[in-house]
Amino acid sequence: MVLNSLDKMIQLQKNTANIRNICVLAHVDHGKTTLADCLISSNGIISSRLAGKLRYMDSREDEQVRGITMKSSAISLHYAEGDKEYLINLIDSPGHVDFSSEVSTAVRICDGCIIVVDAVEGVCPQTQAVLRQAWLENIRPVLVINKIDRLIVELKFTPQEAYCHLKNILEQINALTGTLFTSKVLEERAEREAESQVNPNSEQGEQVYDWSTGLEDTDDSHLYFSPDQGNVVFTSAIDGWGFGIEHFAKIYSQKTGIRKEVLLKTLWGDYYINMKAKKIMKVDQAKGKKPLFVQLILENIWSLYDALLKKDKEKTDKIVTSLGLKIGAREARHSDPRVQINAICSQWLPISQAVLAMVCQKLPSPLDITAERVEKLMCAGSQTFDSLPPETQALKAAFMKCGSEDTAPVIIFVSKMFAVDAKALPQNKPRPLTQEEIAERRERARRRHAEKLAVAQGQAPMEPTQDAGALEMNSQGEEPKDDEQEVESETPKPVPPEGSEQESFIAFARVFSGVARRGKRIFVLGPKYSPLEFLQQIQISVSEPIIPFRETITKPPKVDMVNEEIGKQQKVAVIHQTKEDQSKIPEGIQVDSDGLITMTTPNKLATLSVRALPLPEEVTQILEESSDLIRSMEQLTSSLNEGKNNSQMIHQKTQEKIWEFKGKLEHHLTGRKWRNTVDQIWSFGPRKCGPNILVNKSEDFQNSVWTGFNGKASKEASRYRDLGNSIVSGFQLATLSGPMCEEPLMGVCFVLEKWDLSKFEEQTASNKQSQEPGDLAKEGQGDGDTRSCGDEQQELQDHGSEPFEKRASQRGESPLTDCYGPFSGQLIATMKEACRYALQVKPQRLMAAMYTCDIMATSDVLAHSVTFLYKIIPSDPFWVPTTEEEYLHFGEKADSENQARKYMNAVRKRKGLYVEEKIVEHAEKQRTLSKNK
């Protein structure tokens, strides 16, 4: 029902018994705001078609953009049930844990709450938090199990499975409620026990008691949620329907003749109906039958969804006719079945009627507030009610009465208050001009223009008008251009009231007694919940600033640590030290003098040879700046591998940028060492867009990132694509975490010199030969190869020395695939380890982030101009003295601090990695009690 007038609202406010102050509480994305939209649409404030899409209570712009509720919002609704009319003050609260303070604000000024639970996700952490908060504030909850449609559409549950699932959700919520009740009873028993111990007159028998006695004597049946008690409603807010047990009990009471009271108790639970005898039986008398809730309620809803989703028009028309409903022509023609579901279910089971009826019947009015809660609201912190002044204690009766007479004392509980600038208030904001104000301003402009002409012609000056100083004087006497257009676009400047320099306060409050009128002076007591008391107890600890590092390699040094040129003798010592470092590499890994790492997979079917080279600084910078372009190249390459026409997808400007990027790399990667390197780039890393490259120089298999843009795709690339992806994945993992402190790599080029898969191919061929003759004949017909098994074996022996991809192409064999198989995993692990060992045989260095700031903007956008670059730390973290000068300068143990090693160990400690360091240094010998020693 719609509130048409203010007088109606005032009349409803005076009837305190029919007022309900409620809030909606739930976990994030469980449907609070969508449910609120459905309730608001019942009052005609918004259209029912926009309910769930408009999110009317999310009035802030950032709430609409992010799609979550961030601030509590309140609205008043009107509901009529029979001859009674109710005023429902509804507060929609956030569900995200970061805005839990808004939930506390809403709960403190309400008498009841609606707990919303997702039918699929069930009880979530924030559901437990809000239920506990409602319990601590002593407000009564009711339960709404929302998104029942997801059980039908997404999970594809049968009605019986949905019933069991809903029973489990209710058991979880009731278990949580029982835990809260148990803790409260035990606390009260503990307090009474403490009082009895303090009282010396207590008898000895009173000192011993059973903890379970309080639980057994206390009635807690009204605390739990159960559909037969009327405090549970099943809804689908997005489809606009909801129901309680009472609705169907009334319908089936008229059809079956069974009393409504009996159906209310048996529609939920393990009860079964005998339609012939028209009797309801328990589970032990009717095994294998469907419960009443499934047979009479859920199956009908499931049948309706099934007919509409499958677009069974005949069945849909039959259901609509049997329910006595009418569907508009627009909804009947709509192609989306959810629109038809909303149109039918919102008439058959209106959600607003089910939820608001439960709120009015089961939640208390302000008159039902308990004395315990009144005393808690009036006391602050550890203050007790008896310690309050007598005048304040006398207000307790006014709290309990909740009178709305003019003679009643005005009691306002402020749950939240914050200060705002007076200019931000709505009455002080600029507003558009009315037509009368625009005409008045035009007349003023004409009068001022006439005065200016009179002064310019030497006539007697007229008396200055009230607005003479509003416009600048025109000494030339020319008529101002576009004067009327400027006047029309002006808006009046707000006139600040007296005392506008003071701050204004906006409060989230509730009037418990009396009538609060605008302009009435009020007195505010001190804050009930002071945040300073809580914050002073928190010990704040701040970690040290975390500096990002990168790992790289450099060329061998030409000078030692004392800046002396390394001679032949020193070079021998350096080479000897390098060999000692290489000796730490496990057996089975071959390392040559140039740092080439050769590894074999554990199953001995593939051999990889990898070398690591440092990239020039200019190339590293180009890769860093072109990360977005490299990412786009990777996406285009992926689409090419999926079989899409790449030439139509690439824009001309994108192609120009790609070739420009390739030209820059070719310009800087020159010389014999980098010959044809750019054309052989296989991948970038980490994350396929980083400042490291993988170069494929293997003669057996050739692939490049530029292949798709040239329009050339070799047969080898398609044949060995899956195994090649494993090699690239190993490279990505290696560049993501380096060997020093698991930081990403930067400025490193990994060269795949050799990739031998001949043994793997031979094993694959032998596996094919061992197949059944019929399978081989079918395979020969499909591939155009009618040779016998003996011929194939002879060819393998004759051409064993040829490259394996040539033999594969000659026979027209299918691609070698081992997607996510054991061999692919071994290739990934072997490539990763080969890259790590290739780094370890080179001089390794750390790169630290150097922050720079170019001031090219105002202070408002200065933060966007702060960037940082990575610079190499020159010192070697693994350095030990090798030359004679270094021994003389640093000592044999090199006890002076190594800054790079310090950085490396700090990162390893932060990540929980092993750090090799001395625990005790320069320890003295322990003295004994012996005098001779």
pLDDT digits (tens, 9 = 90+) for 714-771: 555 566 777 888 889 999 999 998 888 888 999 999 999 888 888 877 877 777 777 6
Cβ atoms of 804 and 715 closer than 8 Å = no
Q: Is-contact 236 36, C-beta < 8 A?
A: no
Structural domain boundaries enclosing 165: 1-193+223-240
Strand 748-756 vs strand 844-853: parallel, antiparallel, or unpaired? unpaired
Other Cβ atoms closer than 10 A to 63: 18
pLDDT band for 173, please (50, 70, 90 cuts): very high
Q: Does one domain contain both 157 and 188?
A: yes
| Domain co-membership, 836 together with 859 | no
Q: In terms of pLDDT, which residue wins out, 202 or 689?
A: 689
The pLDDT value given to residue 584: 62
Report whether pLDDT(472) > 70: no
Q: Which two tokens stand for residue 717?
A: 């690339």
Inter-residue contact 423 to 496 (CB < 8 Å): yes
**What total number of domains does the chain contain?**
5
Same domain assignment for residues 24 and 159: yes
Residue 485 pLDDT level (bands cut at 50, 70, 90): very low
Tell me: do 827 and 683 sit in the same domain: yes
Q: What pLDDT sits at residue 887?
A: 66
Same-domain status, 26 and 146: yes
pLDDT of residue 771: 60
Judge if 117 and 258 occupy the same domain: no
Regarding whether 521 and 573 lie in a shared domain, the answer is no
* Mean pLDDT rounded to a whole number for the chain: 77
Structure confidence by residue, pLDDT tens digits, 457-470 = 765 444 444 443 33
Give domain status of residue 477, yes or no. Answer: no
Nearest to 244 by CA among 264, 259, 224: 264
% of the chain residues with pLDDT over 70: 71
Same domain membership, residue 166 and residue 59: yes
What is the pLDDT averaged over residues 67-91?
91
Confidence of residue 199 (pLDDT cuts 50, 70, 90): low
| Domain annotation covers residue 392 | yes
Residue 116 has pLDDT above 90, yes or no: yes
d(CA 26, CA 91): 12
| The most confident of 46-50, 475-479, 818-822, by mean pLDDT | 46-50
Are 252 and 296 a contacting pair, CB within 8 Å? yes
Same domain, 332 and 397: no
To 10 degrees, the CA torsion angle through 911, 912, 913, 916? 120
Say what the pLDDT of residue 193 is. 79
Segment holding 84, helix H or strand E: strand 84-92
* More confident site: 462 or 63: 63
Enter the pTM of the model: 0.54
pLDDT greater than 90 at residue 38: yes
Task: Give the tens place of pLDDT for each residue, 810-843.
Answer: 444 555 555 556 788 888 999 999 998 888 888 8
The CATH number given to whatever domain includes residue 146 is 3.40.50.300
pLDDT of residue 366: 92
Determine the pLDDT at residue 927. 58
What integer pLDDT is reported at residue 888 of this predicted model? Answer: 67
Q: What is the pLDDT of residues 375-400, one digit of tens each?
A: 888 887 667 888 888 888 888 888 88
Helix segments in 349-434, DSSP class H: 351-362, 371-378, 390-393, 395-401
Do residues 703 and 663 both lie within one domain?
yes
Cite the beta strand spans of 237-365 per DSSP E: 241-243, 271-274, 279-282
Domain co-membership, 144 together with 273 = no
More confident residue, 793 or 774: 774
Are 299 and 278 within one domain?
A: yes
- What residue ranges in 120-187 does DSSP mark as E strands? 140-146
Q: 655 or 547: whose pLDDT is higher?
A: 655
| pLDDT at position 35 | 94
What is the pLDDT, as a whole number, of residue 475? Answer: 36
Q: What is the pLDDT of residue 470?
A: 36
